[in-house]
Chain A
Amino acid sequence: MAKILVAEDDKLISGSLCEALKNAGYESHAALDGEEAVAKAKEVAPDLMLLDIMMPKLDGISVLWELKANPATAKIPVIVLTNIGDVDTISKIVEAGAVDYLLKSDQSVDDILRKVKEVLERTVRLV
């Protein structure tokens, strides 16, 4: 069972996502701020991570860089889920090494599940 880490400070959003992931047959873990996200990434070693940008303690971009800096977490594919769609943020996300980014309010939960599946398959093939 693939492990998915959901780093999202909004409890409602995090709850919906985790629930949907569970229903789709994944093992879901939630982190409610950036620091927790980095810690859980090491602890859980997820197969994929869904990451929010605007989070307390450590923002999503910094989380990406911290993951990259640690060999244990550097290979975790990260899909950024954000509600800030400005070019500046997007370029920072890409630069920090996220595999994809999705604008939360533009997506349904099913869209996200589809993307998760797609990225997981791509990663497996690469391995």
Chain B
Amino acid sequence: MIINILLVIDFVMLAVVISGYIFASMRERKLLSQEADQSLELQQKVYQAQVLKEISERIGYSLDTNKIVDIITSSLGNLLEYDTVAYMVIEDGGKALFKCHVENSVTHDFIEQVKEKMIMSYAAILDKRIEAQSTDESITGNILDDNLKVQVESFFNLPVVISGKLVGIINVASSEKGRFGEEQASILYTITNQAATAVSKLQSVLESEKGKLSAIIYSLADGVIMVDTDNQLLVSNPVVREILEINQQAAGQQAIEKPLTMFDIVDGLAGKVDIRTKIEQAMAEDKVITIPEVLLKDKAVELAVSPVKDNSGAIIGASVLFHDITSEKSLEKLRQEFTAMMVHELRAPLTALRWTSEAMLKSLNDPAQRLEPLKVKENAENIHTASANMLELVNDLLDVAKIEAGKFELNIQENDLADLINEQSKIFKPQAEQKHLALNVTANGKFMLKFDKVRIAQVLNNLISNAIKYTDSGQVDVSLKTDDPSKTAVVSIKDTGLGVAREDLNQLFSKFKQLRSVDRARKGTGLGLVVSKGIIETHGGKIWAESEGENLGSTFYFSLPL
């Protein structure tokens, strides 16, 4: 795309060609009258200045070698007298480009001679045989007339060197002997030199812009590639390799930095997206094509294929943006699971309420289905339990919503924490006894502290009931201590139950994650812990859990500032 262009004019060749003329032309000039000579020189200089101005204006911001050479050669007419001016480029693959402008009619043979001289010069500079495999020719200007008796009698070649590499040769030829001298060569030299200076300045500006651009592309969090209209990869950044897992070396192995090709991209997306077709479509229809969700091995990616245009609005390729949406997707999945769970949990008690009350209504309306008084009592109890479960859940949900909205309010007063712990533990004695668990409480004396009694009771209830729920044998120990360094009161609830896998400990208090591991046999949505965390943190305290691992029991702690 952006070619490094530097025009360096190598005068070695030129010197060989023109050295013979130098002395002759100097001697001739002396014979001319001084006046005439001066006026001619002045005229030439004016022309030269005009041509230079014209060239720099026309070159503008172009970095296209062919265009620049075209501009230079087409400007020569005012300064030099010649029959043909030609430009030849031989690409690495051997493909030759030959452009010739015919100022005065010459023969085909004349053109062939020019071409031959240029190839010879090319070969001499590169010091190797040149065999142009195919030639892309364009001859413009006057018509060719093979009836003319013209030969190349004088010429000179001017090599064009870009970044130390020969990219082409300019040739000026005439059928007149001794047409070109030092002066003419120097005019052409000045012009090309001027063009080279303009190009170098432009190039350095572009280089720095390009540097900024590559730095941006390189550091993008999204993968980016750009292809030209022939589907050749022009630009790519490291994220593309990461996303498509191309050349990802195993740890400890040397990185294989094979340049990325379009084949790698197509392979990386094989079976998921026909990226080539999408690129062609984007270019053909001149619109951005998005592919919202491409599922790769362990990633989800969103692709955006956009046509790329140049200044004039012509489409010169397409870019593809790879946006990794894996984490968004997994969060989305968690949200869906959470919603499904909530829907289920809210509908279950409603179903029980509906069906039980239906049965009771039926028994009232239909004597054949009359219920025994014991059955009526059982149904009423069921309705009570279902509505209590529902209420608990709705309250938890409302609390979570308040906590998340930062609108959780506390009624803080001076209370006795030891007393509260003893009081709440007492409530759970029957449950513990029913499961043959020992419920030991160590909270003696008065322990005055500022907290919301109702809310801390809620936390204690939640933690103690969980401990009993998840313990099938052994004991539950509730204790209260002061931690002097942190100036806090620490309450711990230790059980000998199921325990928690180490990697799950941090996720216990998260709204979404907790729900994944819900043990349905023991009921509960896990929202209790989320609410407890909110309550404790609003008090300025901390809540955490420790466990040696699964089936090794767990201890839940919370601290309140003294």
Contact = CB atoms under 8 A, between A and B. Distances in A.
Interface of A: 9-10, 12-13, 15-17, 19-20, 23, 33, 54-57, 83-86, 89, 104-105, 108-110
B351 A105 contact: yes
Give the one of B340, B349, B358, B382 with max A CB within 10 A.
Answer: B340
B344 interface: yes
Given A9-B520, A55-B520, A56-B519, A16 B347 contact: no
Contacts of B349: 12
Interface in B310-362: 336, 340, 343-344, 347-352, 354-356, 358-359
Given A33-B521, A108-B358, A16 B352 contact: yes
A55 B518 CA distance: 11
Interface in B8-49: none
A16 B359 contact: yes
Interface string B498-527: 000000000000000000000111000000
Interface of B: 336, 340, 343-344, 347-352, 354-356, 358-359, 369, 382, 385-386, 519-521
A57 B386 contact: no
A56 to B, nearest CB: 4
B521 A105 contact: no
A10 B347 contact: no
Contacts of B348: 10, 13, 83, 104
Contact of A89 (B340, B352, B386): B340
A13 B382 CA distance: 9
Nearest to B522: A56
Given A13-B351, A84-B340, A108-B355, 8 more contacts: A10-B351, A12-B386, A13-B352, A16-B359, A19-B359, A55-B520, A105-B351, A108-B358
B358 A109 contact: yes
B109 to A, nearest CB: 81
Nearest to B385: A12
A57 B519 CA distance: 9
A109 B354 CA distance: 9
A83 B351 contact: yes
Contact of B356 (A12, A85, A89, A105): A12
A12 B352 contact: yes
Nearest to A55: B520
Contact of A16 (B343, B355, B369): B355
Contacts of B369: 23
A9 B518 CA distance: 14
A10 B348 CA distance: 8
Given A12-B385, A105-B350, A20 B356 contact: no
Contacts of B358: 108-110
B343 A56 contact: no
Given A9-B521, A33-B521, A104 B351 contact: yes
Nearest to B356: A16
B512 to A, nearest CB: 17
B381 to A, nearest CB: 10
B382 A12 contact: yes
A17 B344 contact: no
Given A15-B382, A23-B369, A56-B519, A83 B343 contact: yes
B520 A54 contact: yes
A19 B369 CA distance: 11
A86 B340 contact: yes
Give the one of B352, B354, B355, B521 with max A CB within 10 A.
Answer: B355
A109 B359 contact: yes
Contacts of B356: 12, 16
Contacts of A57: 521
B125 to A, nearest CB: 71
Contacts of B382: 12, 15-16
A83 B355 CA distance: 14
Contact of A56 (B347, B352, B354, B521): B521
A105 B336 CA distance: 20
Contact of B355 (A17, A56, A86): A17
A83 B352 CA distance: 12
Contacts of B347: 83, 104-105
Contact of A109 (B350, B355, B521): B355
A20 B371 CA distance: 12
Q: Which 4 A-B pairs have the closest CB atoms?
A: A12-B352, A56-B521, A83-B347, A56-B520
Contacts of A12: 349, 352, 356, 382, 385-386
B352 A10 contact: yes
A85 B340 CA distance: 8
A105 B345 CA distance: 11
A50 B547 CA distance: 39
A77 to B, nearest CB: 22
B355 A13 contact: yes
Contacts of B519: 56
A15 B344 CA distance: 18
A88 B349 CA distance: 23
A84 B344 contact: yes
B354 A105 contact: yes
A89 B340 CA distance: 10
A21 B343 CA distance: 26
Contacts of A20: 355, 359
Nearest to B519: A56
A17 B356 CA distance: 9
15 contacts: A10-B348, A10-B351, A10-B352, A12-B352, A12-B356, A13-B352, A13-B355, A16-B356, A33-B521, A54-B344, A54-B520, A56-B520, A89-B340, A104-B347, A105-B351
B351 A84 contact: no
B335 to A, nearest CB: 12
B218 to A, nearest CB: 40
Nearest to A82: B344
A108 B521 contact: no
